Amino acid sequence: MDINALLLNGCFALYCLSVTLYLAHACLRWSKLQQLAMGTVVLAFSCQTLSLGLRWFAAGYLPVTNLFSTVFFFSWALGATYLYFEWRYRLASAGLFVMLLNILLLYIALPRDPTPPALIPMLDTPLFTLHIACSFLGYALFAMAFSLAVLYLIQRKTAALPLPTRNRLQQLNEEAIFLGFCFFTLSMLFGSYWAYVAWGYYFSWDIKALWSALIWLYFAGMCHAKFIRSWQGSGYAWLSILGFALVLFTYLGIGLLMKSNHPLA
């Protein structure tokens, strides 16, 4: 087994272990279990980062040109997002849902061929790397907002889980949406500039580009919704869930169900 396969399987196993530890913490409420779970996530993320770095070094470009590598990068961005929130706010059991999502992404990625294909000249530009990196960081933050929104709705129903307060969850959700919107805006700007130099127009009516613009518009609206009292609380949580559904459909649904000319559809 080569080092990359070892790192890939290792990070998957460690993320699975972290979920088990978070579950145990949710049931038993031993603070040591939470620390252990957090340590496992850090270790898993380190393996994932090392694997990404090695594949980047070997390929000579950020390997995000096939389904394996985009899902893997999405999972890496989700890990980074989770660690950022954990480091800043100590999310406790809130990590459970994000890690479950991460495991699901790795479960989709791992059976696929990890060998990056030869880079075609069309994708050989820093604009592509910036577009993809910002896009997946945005997606990861929207996924984080989705997890926080689900937790907010659970918190309303039950106090059985050791979760942050509802106000805190709402605040963190708003932060995830705002940061996601910032990264997604940058992704759209880099993508538009790349489209202009590659095809001669900065907005395409291709279905994936159109849906990306709609996601941007939707989350722009959400950034305003936090100022409206009647849209706060459950309404905002449901909007976050709907927003993530739009993101998932744009990322996976369009490629699988519709025909798109987008380079990575």
Partner 1 sequence: MFRQLWKLCCSAKATIVLTSITTLIAVLGSTQAMHNPRLFNTMDSKPLLEWWQLYIQQISYSTVWIPLCSALIGLLWFNTLCCCIDWLCHLRTRWKKSGEYLIHLGFILVVIAYAWGSIYGMRSSNNSIAAGEIIAIPEQAGYFLRLNSFQPQMAPSGRPIDMLSNVTLLKGDHELKTATIRFNHPLTYGDLIILPGSYSQQVVGFSCLLNQQQVELKPGSTIQLSAGASLRVVDFTPDIQSRRGSAGNGALRNPAFLLELKEASHENKSLWYVVRRGAPKQLVAAGFTPQRLAPLYTTYSQLTINRDPGAPLAAAGAIAMTLGILLSLRSFYAKRSRTSGNNKLS
Residues that bind partner 1 (CB under 8 A): 88-92, 118, 120-122, 124-125, 127, 164-165, 168, 175, 178-179, 182, 185-186, 189, 192-194, 196-207, 210-211, 214, 217-218, 220-221, 224-225, 227-228, 231, 246, 258-259, 261
Judged by beta carbon, residue 27 or residue 197, the one nearer partner 1 is 197
CB of 265 to partner 1, least distance (A): 13
Place of tokens 């899902």: 71
Q: How far is the CB of 17 from partner 1 (least distance, A)?
A: 24
- Tell me the residue type at 147: S
Distances (CA, A) of 41 to 71, 92, 107, 175: 18, 13, 16, 22
Q: What are phi and psi of 163, to 5 degrees?
A: -105, 160
Q: Which is nearer to partner 1, 158 or 230 (CB)?
A: 230
H-only helix segments in 200-260:
207-225, 234-248, 254-257
Q: Give least dist CB 14 to partner 1, A.
A: 24
Q: For residues 250 and 211, is the Cβ–Cβ distance under 8 A?
A: yes
Residue 54 vs 189, nearer CB to partner 1? 189
Which DSSP helix (H) or strand (E) runs through 183? helix 166-199
**Closest distance of CB 257 from partner 1, Å:** 8
* CB nearer to partner 1: pick between 16 and 169: 169
For partner 1, give the closer residue by CB, 3 or 167: 167
Sign of CA dihedral 170, 228, 179, 8: positive
Closest CA to 118 of 66, 51, 171: 66
Separation between Cα atoms, residue 102 and residue 107, nearest integer Å: 9
Residue 17 or 182: the one with the smaller Cβ distance to partner 1 is: 182
Nearest approach, Cβ of residue 35 and partner 1 (Å)? 15
Helices 95-109, 126-157: axis angle to 10 degrees equals 130
Closest separation in Å from C-beta 90 to partner 1: 5
